[in-house]
Amino acid sequence: MEVACSCPPRAVASSLPRARGMGLLEDLFSPRAGLDAASLRSLTRYRRAALSGCTSILAKVVVLVTTIVSVPLTYRYLGADRYGLWMTITSFVLFLGFADLGVGNGLVAGISEANGRDDVAQAQRQVSCGFFMLLFLACAIGLLLAAIFPFLHLARFYGTTTALATREAGPATVALILCTVLSMPLGTVLRVQLGYQQGYISDLWNAGGNALALAGIIVATHLGGGLPILVCAVAGAPVLITTANWLVQFFYVRPWLRPRFELFESKVAMQMAAVGGLFFVQQCFGLIYYVSDNIVIARCMGAAAVAHYAVLQRIFSIGLVAQYFMVPLWPAIGEAVARRDFAWAHKIIRRAIVVSLCLGTMCAISLLAASRYLMKHWSGVDVGSLDSLRIGFALWVVLVGYIAAMNAVLNQPGVMRRHLVLFGGAALASLGLKIAFARHGSLAGVVWGTVIGYGVVYIVPATMLAFRSVSQQQGAGA
């Protein structure tokens, strides 16, 4: 296939991905003189992972500030019924995040492999296939929802009680779904940046989107806009920022990667769909691992128990810092394996485990000490001295960081199926334990179900698989 017309110069294609304008942040952190190529690549991977972790935390801080400012503002402005409608619509639309069927993560894996091989043509095909597959899925979802929308009784579905909320339910739903569908193909830019180990660039753009959304909320409430206008401000701002990111990335930073339909290949698309399918299954297991707690508690113990548990979970979620530094290692490891830099891969597995456990432990201990104070000021409930529920959440914080490290190592095409068996088995085991404990009236048992399930089924086998997989790939390439 002829791609020379759109490829970067040879010097660019054969070097580390230092696209135009993207090396400035990196140069601030480390000199480049006196390093051989292997050392330079290793240093670049570490530095980009550290940058991405720091900017992820920054982006989360922006989200936290936005939430602190917007929740009381919008609640007072909308009232209980319309605010509840907004939250319900948002919860429903969140499930559309699964509609890409894992294609986005498949694109990240493909880009990291192409980067490791310095294969620009492969990267071009990956981006074009990923973009048009997501565009097709977005159009299909949009058409399906447009076809069934006239037959939906949204007011009854959402349980609205006021005439104003009933009138706004339809337009607000349409606005939020439209923004979500538009973000699917545009989101390819975020996958490309993550695949090239430049997640910190995406984080900065996303932080800008959240800041713009906050400005939109303030303007919409000041001007007296209705719920649909508020939804457009909140959901539309990130879409505008992602569109700007897409244009900058594919028209200035990496114009040779701009999606073109003539580069779409069915074979590449099928391979991406196959890898994406594995990620989709993992996402489904992730719902069991992370989201099922409140559902199990509500069904077995009642809604009042959910409130106490959910507030504590939100408090301890503040300590999920390790995962922000683990996620950027996923494409870095894929690129290293593609370059057959197995020594670095072995080293980073050990370091990822140590860093995730250390960060998780420090955050867990800090939150154990602060949880009583935070719980009292957030919910007005004094939980007293340490109990099994908070100890379970502290172990959960460490566990989540460790799982993020294993995901970075084992979410590679060659080993992901075996990892999926372990992850899925642990998710199902933990779900069974959660239900059993909850039926016996143990609120703490719900979080302990996750800790025990993954502790028994996942931790040791996943660690062994991580080291063995790199050794096997090294032996196969010898």
One domain for residues 108 and 65: yes
Residue 164 CA to residue 226 CA, distance in Å, equals 9
Q: How confident is the model at residue 126 (pLDDT cuts 50, 70, 90)?
A: very high
Q: What is the DSSP string of 298-321?
A: HHHH-HHHHHHHHHHHHHHHTTTT
Three-class secondary structure of residue 196 per DSSP: coil
Secondary structure letter of residue 7 according to DSSP = S
- CA 287, 52, 176, 145 torsion-angle sign: negative
One domain for residues 85 and 158: yes
Q: Model pTM? A: 0.76
One domain for residues 170 and 315: no
Query: Per the domain annotation, does 387 fall within a domain?
Result: yes
Quickly list H helices, 291-415.
292-301, 303-317, 322-326, 329-338, 342-379, 388-410
Which is higher by pLDDT, 255 or 2? Answer: 255
One domain for residues 77 and 190: yes
Secondary structure letter of residue 9 according to DSSP = P
One domain for residues 406 and 459: yes
CB 114 within 8 A of CB 123: yes
Give the distance, in angstroms, between the CA of residue 47 and the centroid of all CA atoms in the same chain. 20
Secondary structure letter of residue 251 according to DSSP = I
How many CB atoms within 10 Å of residue 165?
23
Nearest one of 239, 183, 197 to 108, comparing CA atoms = 197
One domain for residues 261 and 301: no
Residue 269 CA to residue 275 CA, distance in Å, equals 10
Per-residue model confidence as pLDDT tens digits over 415-464: 888 999 999 999 999 999 999 998 888 888 989 999 999 999 999 999 98
Residue 331 CA to residue 107 CA, distance in Å, equals 11
One domain for residues 267 and 332: no
What six digits make up the tokens of 321?
């810092």
Q: How many residues are listed for the chain in this entry? A: 478
Give the distance, in angstroms, between the CA of residue 41 and the centroid of all CA atoms in the same chain. 25
Query: Per the domain annotation, does 26 fall within a domain?
Result: no
One domain for residues 265 and 324: no
Residue 21 reports pLDDT greater than 50: no
One domain for residues 310 and 161: no
Residue 429 CA to residue 454 CA, distance in Å, equals 8
Q: What is the mean pLDDT of residues 21-39?
A: 54
State the residue for tokens 């973000």.
Answer: 183
Residue 19 reports pLDDT greater than 70: no
Query: Per the domain annotation, does 7 fall within a domain?
Result: no
Residue 395: give the domain boundaries: 291-478
**Structural domain tally of the chain?**
2
For the chain, percent of residues with pLDDT exceeding 70: 83
